[in-house]
Structure 1
């Protein structure tokens, strides 16, 4: 069989120390203290996918998890879904079920969209505003150096992302990546990367962005880049990260790229896994 997809740390290793004490009374009480020590990759990655339950995305994400591909070789990850009911993604390396976090339905009135704006763009932005709030409640996102939001149909290699982000990593970094330069520097939403400090800055200023920017009808990626700019988050210009047909196409065998977009066929022999294998997949020792 092939080796697992290469990563600095495919999965965190966890050690447990258990201490048991018993009282000397007639009733025996047991107290168990569990301490876990986790080793992350360097820099560490918290990765997110947002899936629509109807259609190809959920089956595709389940196949990714089965092969420890895409976000499932990040240090930690979360999958968010619509549809009102949490969905089973798969079973994690610790034997626990991996479930999606449900995004509440959007109830806010759309209001007046700008000329040329679309309802879909507005709903997309609203959805992700909720995702970033849910990630805050989850809390794990704050333990990691970098956050990557990756589309389900992007073929993504976390170990390669680590190499790109390592030179920019420090505890106080407030940075996000502009990843396309086709029509001037832009953030393309198939893979969004920003530091923990940028996320914390966003949370503090989210209401300001919402109230000040004319965002109705904007796509989520356009909104986030403008919000980051407004809040003083620094830009990293890295146009070698992403191979996206809407920006710059690169064949999947170009192993310099961190993600390839878009490949929608969810079957094990379909386009997503063809691309994954062509780019190294589980057999590439360089990641």
Structure 2
């Protein structure tokens, strides 16, 4: 294990000759992370060192026992390279998963830096007691990736190249985070992950390559595809809901492509589910004629981010969904299949007899373009009409803007949402076949709604 591969291991057990009671415990704070070091006596006087970003912190924590082990340590195979991130660490774990020199509990924490050819290290590791817990992030299955093909190289212009990438899961995850990435190629010989871009009108093509694994981060290549996004407040119940939804491919995570936005970068699931940042603190007042959240300015910023990233340009439909909405994209596919984006300014759906409600908003690609180009004209129009800012929520503003000013095609579909604010009396049961049920703000009620909706018979289309 090398001192140059710093900051990669999520636990530390240290045996040394530090004076004091055998059960004393110290906590050593390193520059990048906190590791626990049990300062207990050991007959061998050896210390299993777990991080080397700060050699000084290591010596202070583990005492002279570190010196006994230092001659047995040598630089790992990652020495001289940049530090590996947690995704790459998982790939190294897979590489050494069957190494019988390491106890099973150690592989998840030590595999990224262990040199299996070093008998001194393996011997010292075997003497260390098993830690009570581990903090290794779960590996995401390849099912979370849009498409993976072996012995194939996809087309596209190279945007970013990552080195030391050993698995397609890691390469695909990196592509998903980068909005411009449309295809990825893993060079299995040189362990390079190449992220590529394609224009929205480009044709996806592929060539045979025995050294490559390629894929799509999302299924933007499907006809009538759907891009979904959500905005959430950090450190709120919404963050927990999104983690569960991602794990179970529910809500927006069942769409052909998805994006998650917040006021700052949040790792909901480290490396796999990370929010993009919008230029807003996501805070607003409640008021106006209807006593609703006056969040129009917030969602102006959100739509700015959506348009800047440009993910929607690769899809026929764009859907904004609230985190506490129980949304079934497969049901929406049936609804949008009856409508083509042929209107000059695009098409959008009105989901309630009282006007568009924000828990789910469905716009065609042309409608998003019209909203992007005409939003400021709408603001000027309604500021004049209201003799100042109209005290509306974002959903009412976008509805009035698209219909009254931009003249987009408005399609009424009362099956889009079932909620109390739209006069639904049975929305809490989630059995009426609606596309979306809202709101469910705690995980237990959310899961119960999903279960009830999946068990209920679907409506028959006549």
Structure 2 length-normalised TM = 0.49
Aligned partners of 1:66 and 1:90 also within 8 Å: no
Q: 2:95 corresponds to which residue?
A: none
Which of 235, 241, 247 is equivalent to 2:416?
241
The answer as to whether partners of 2:433 and 2:457 remain within 8 angstroms in 1 is no
Cα 1:106/1:168, change in 2 over 3 Å: same
Tell me the secondary structure at the aligned position of residue 332 of structure 2: helix
Contact conserved, 1:61 with 1:152, CA < 8 A, in 2?
A: yes
Superimposed CA distance per residue, residues 186-238 of structure 1 (whole angstroms, 9 cap, x where no aligned partner): 10111111111100011111110122213442100000001101101110010
Following TM superposition, by how much is the alpha carbon of 1:48 offset from its aligned partner in structure 2, in angstroms? Answer: 1.1
Count matched residues: 249
Task: Please state if 1:128 is matched with 2:290.
Answer: no
User: In structure 2, what is the equivalent of residue 26 of structure 1?
Assistant: none
2:245 to 40, 53, 64: 64
Equivalent of residue 50 in structure 1, options 218, 222, 231: 231
Please state whether the residue corresponding to 2:446 is helix, strand or coil.
helix
* Contact 1:12-1:40 within 8 A present in 2 as well: no
Instruction: Choose 1 or 2 for highest CA Rg.
Output: 2
Contact 2:280–2:301 (8 Å) recurs in 1:
no
What is the aligned partner in structure 1 of residue 113 from structure 2?
none
Q: Which has the higher strand share?
A: 1
Residues 100-179 of structure 1 aligned to structure 2 (within 5 Å) = 100-105=275-280, 116=289, 121-122=293-294, 124-170=295-341, 174-179=346-351
Unaligned regions of 5+ residues in structure 1, if any?
Answer: 1-8, 20-29
- RMSD of aligned Cα (Å): 3.4
Cα separation, 1, equivalents of 2:279 and 2:339: 35
Using CA pairs under 8 Å that are at least 6 residues apart, name the structure with larger relative contact order, 1 or 2.
1
CA separation in 2, counterparts of 1:169 and 1:265? 37
Following the alignment from structure 2 to structure 1, what is the Cα–Cα distance between the partners of residues 229 and 195?
Answer: 31
**Match status 1:211 vs 2:380:** yes
Conservation of the 8 A alpha-carbon contact between 1:121 and 1:217:
no
Q: Residues of 2 paired with 1:117 and 1:284: CA distance?
A: 35
Per the alignment, residue 370 of structure 2 pairs with 201
Query: 1:230-269: CA deviations, max 9, x gaps?
Result: 1011100101111011113234443521000011103xxx
Cα distance change of structure 1 residues 146 and 13 upon mapping to structure 2, 3 Å threshold? same
Which of 431, 436, 439 is residue 254 of structure 1 equivalent to?
431
Distance 2:265 2:324 in 1: 20
C-alpha separation between the residues in 1 aligned to 2:308 and 2:367?
A: 17
Q: Please report how far the alpha carbon of residue 54 of structure 1 lies from its aligned counterpart in structure 2 after TM superposition.
A: 3.4
Greater shift, 151-160 or 34-43, is seen at 34-43
Per the alignment, do residues 115 and 277 of structure 1 end up closer, same or farther by CA in structure 2, a change over 3 Å counting? closer
Change in CA separation of 1:129 and 1:167 when aligned onto 2, cut-off 3 Å: same
What is the SS of the residue equivalent to 1:232? coil
**Cα distance in 1, alignment partners of residues 248 and 333 from structure 2:** 20
| Structure 2 equivalent of residue 190 of structure 1 | 359
Contact 1:42 1:162 in 2 (8 A): no
Please give the alpha-carbon distance, in whole angstroms, between the structure 2 residues aligned to 1:253 and 1:115: 31
Q: How does 1:10-21 map to 2 (within 5 A)?
A: 12-15=146-149, 16-17=152-153
The Cα shift of 1:13 comes to 2.0
Return 196-205 or 252-261, whichever deviates more.
252-261
Equivalent in the alignment of 1:87 = 266
CA–CA distance in structure 1, aligned partners of residues 375 and 416 of structure 2: 27
CA 1:90 to 1:222, structure 2 compared with 1: closer, same or farther past 3 Å? Answer: same
Residue 228 of structure 1 corresponds to 402
